[in-house]
Chains A and B, each alone.
Chain A
Amino acid sequence: MNEVLLEVDTIHTFIGQFHILEGVSLKVRAGSITALLGRNGAGKTTTLRSIMGLNPPRSGSIRLGGEAINGRPAYEIAYLGVGYVPEHRAIFRDLTVEENLRLAERKRGDLARRSDFIMSLFPDLKRFYRHPGGKLSGGQQQMLAIARALVPDNRLLLIDEPSEGLAPIIVEQIVAALRQMATETTILLVEQNFALAAQLADEYYILDDGRSVQHGRMADLTRDHATIDKYLGAG
């Protein structure tokens, strides 16, 4: 087994007055894809945002490669090598594809160095390189959002619902890209589509009502229909 890259230990996160995460713990091993599963509102997105520093947890600890990162501002966490692909893509609509990618550079030359790899994963982006992000289709915007996280050397990618609302053929392309990416980095993936998550992930964590309730190897979960029914609805 590989070493643990990310360790989240009983974090509690509030949004305004609402206690959203009530003790989430998880470990992500370097070089793996870990899926974060659970119903709508279970706290999956908030977990990613807590790790990223966008909704800092009020208690508990988050360690990246052994170093505590909870309480640090988001931009510092990003600098430690965490890439974030949010739900609903959040690309910059008024910026061109090129500018979107350039903005993600952490040092000069990042984009030039990684451009070939990114364009081989998502050839569409090359075609629309100088078009504003807002003019892209939903699938292309998702590709751009993922590509943005690939520009710098990230140790960990937090990817939220990459398949949401996309046509099956686009989803296939994105799955292939995620597989390719997993060979060189570590991914923590939130995915509603269980079949897709099962296909990609090595390990899983299930969140229910703000708590992490179960985890294990993905291969075991696919046979465990009781758990799937209990926590993931009609999965």
Chain B
Amino acid sequence: MIELIQRRRGLIAGIIAIILFGMWASTQYEPRVLASILLSGLTLGALYFLVTSGLSLIFGLMDVLNFAHGTLFMIGAYIGFTLYANPRLLLNTLPFGLALVAGWILARWLPANSLPSGHRRPLWVAAVLVGLFAIWNFELAPLATTALSSGGRVPTEQAQAPTPIFIARALGLAVAGVIAGAAFLAGREHTRRPERRDLIVPIILLALALLIAPLRLTLEEWLLSLDSNTRFLLALLIGAGGGAALGGLMEWSLIRPLYSRPIYQVLVTLGLVFVGTELVKGVWGPGGYFMELPAWFSQRGPNCPSPNLIAWLQDNCASIDVLGRPFPSYRIFIIALGILMFVGIAVLLRYTRLGMIIRAGVQDGEMVQALGINVRRVFTLVFALGAGLAALGGVAAAPFLGISPGLGQEFQLQAFIAVVIGGMGSFTGAAIGSLLVGLARAFGDQIVLTGIQLPWMSEAMTFSPSIARASTVLIMALVLLLRPAGLFGKKE
């Protein structure tokens, strides 16, 4: 018994601290205030979790500290918002990306041995020139700025290039992709011979690109005519998918060559924060946007706030009554999304082969490789998964926090703190850490708002607003004193 207490002293101390804090909080606040603080904390915790889960998986499996994870969160928010409010921007750029990738893949059918490595550099230059020529004079600004002035609801045809020119650009980029792919393959031995069925992917991509081109206007109108709920779900899906694609691309192109040089990796991800932020400013402008809530979470009327969750399902009020205090229903949705993702990832890790490979790879990636598993491919997949989760968080946060180029930084910092509290590389730790950080922020905000009433003082003690932010760092310091590897971290 004593031995058990000694072994679990961190856990026991934690539970005692939580109980004491709970007792103190319940004397300090009325139940309904306490309930709404807790729910706010859970909301923040759920958002942090979407960032930390990916961060922690990526660190655990490949030892990469991804400083750009918050940037992916922010870009996810922009992509989702763009689909929601101004799909024109996506519809007019997506075909280019698809064509480029299709061309890249098609390069594998070139006779590989005819390309010695000496051709590599001129081929890269040619690819860049052809690519630049293809998008020469392409105007991105009008596509993006219309969203700012009109919410993207007026389909102005003059913002879009005529279809033949557009298709010519896409084909030009496909050619650039082929040349770049050839440059990539030049002089490489041991590339697998492509089979006929490998043709399916590039052909689908190219077909999609060529199909979207003439249908851009129709698709845009169709998307904007959808009700806000459907568009919102699509925004979540496309935002997460776009983030995942960016994450996969990032791992494959920038992180992978640097696995033997971890310091450079950190620098690359740090640099990507600036590049990503500036790119977003370049495309969407430095100002922020506000994403409207979909209809599910924005009804107002005589029977609002909804008395409970069941009633909300019918009246879709903007807020739900929690012990006599209205609480925004959208935040409940964020909590639900966080729980759903937690369960989803837990199931993935526990019951699928990919999850098994991840758990094994966290411990010994080399041995996984020696068993005949292409760990590099799993790395890319997990990076994409983590980036997709962060981007999903970004879209979910958009209607609640607003969208701006600085959105990612704050989340990045808090997510790092949460990961450290939970223990680097531990999935459960990431969840608990996020929850703690979220609750600390919520309680911190409340304390700043009302101060703390101590029995021996006549007036409430007040704090500066920075205490809310400092509280999470304080918790981190405490946890690290008790358990240097974090709550669920394993000692190496």
Contact = CB atoms under 8 A, between A and B. Distances in A.
Interface in A75-91: 75-76, 78-79, 84, 86, 90
Interface string B317-361: 000000000000000000000000000000000000100110110
B239 to A, nearest CB: 32
B372 A92 contact: no
A99 B356 contact: yes
Interface string A68-106: 000111111011000010100010111100011011101
Contact of A94 (B189, B357, B359, B368): B359
B367 interface: yes
Contacts, number: 64
Nearest to A71: B190
B385 interface: no
B360 A103 contact: yes
A73 B357 CA distance: 18
B113 interface: no
A52 interface: yes
Contacts of A95: 356, 359-360
Interface in A11-65: 52, 54
A62 to B, nearest CB: 14
Interface string B85-102: 000000000000000000
B296 to A, nearest CB: 40
B491 to A, nearest CB: 13
A86 B370 contact: yes
B372 A78 contact: yes
A49 to B, nearest CB: 9
A104 B356 CA distance: 11
B363 to A, nearest CB: 5
A152 interface: yes
A152 B192 CA distance: 22
Contacts of B439: none
A99 B189 CA distance: 34
A211 interface: no
Contacts of B156: none
Given A72-B190, A90-B364, A54 B357 contact: no
A155 interface: no
A106 B367 CA distance: 14
Given A71-B190, A72-B190, A90-B364, A78 B371 contact: yes
B230 interface: no
B366 interface: yes
Given A75-B375, A103-B356, A94 B370 contact: no
Contacts of B356: 95, 99, 102-103
B462 interface: no
A74 B375 CA distance: 10
A54 B370 contact: yes
A86 B367 contact: yes
Contacts of B375: 75
A104 B363 contact: no
B426 to A, nearest CB: 10
A190 to B, nearest CB: 15
B369 A79 contact: no
Interface string A171-183: 0000000000000
A92 B359 contact: yes
A104 B357 CA distance: 10
B359 A152 contact: no
Contacts of A76: 190
A80 B92 CA distance: 46
Max chain B CB contacts within 10 Å: which of A71, A73, A74, A78?
A74
Contacts of B190: 71-72, 76
A114 to B, nearest CB: 14
Contacts of B189: 71
Contacts of A54: 366, 369-370
A176 B376 CA distance: 37
Contacts of A102: 353, 356
Contacts of A104: 371-372
A77 to B, nearest CB: 8
B369 A73 contact: yes
A72 B371 CA distance: 14
B60 to A, nearest CB: 11
A106 B372 contact: yes
B373 interface: yes
B185 to A, nearest CB: 16
Contacts of A94: 359-360, 362-363
Contacts of B368: 103
B373 A92 contact: no
A75 B364 contact: no
A52 B369 CA distance: 10
A95 B363 CA distance: 10
A130 to B, nearest CB: 13
A95 B371 CA distance: 15
Interface string B275-311: 0000000000000000000000000000000000000
A152 B360 contact: no
A72 B188 CA distance: 12
Interface in B161-193: 189-190
A75 B374 contact: yes
B359 A74 contact: no
A87 to B, nearest CB: 11
Given A71-B190, A95-B359, A95-B360, A103 B370 contact: no
Given A72-B190, A76-B190, 14 more contacts: A54-B370, A71-B190, A73-B369, A75-B369, A84-B370, A84-B371, A92-B360, A94-B359, A95-B356, A99-B356, A99-B359, A102-B356, A148-B371, A152-B372
Interface of A: 52, 54, 71-76, 78-79, 84, 86, 90, 92-95, 99-100, 102-104, 106, 148, 152
6 contacts: A75-B372, A84-B371, A92-B364, A92-B367, A94-B363, A102-B356
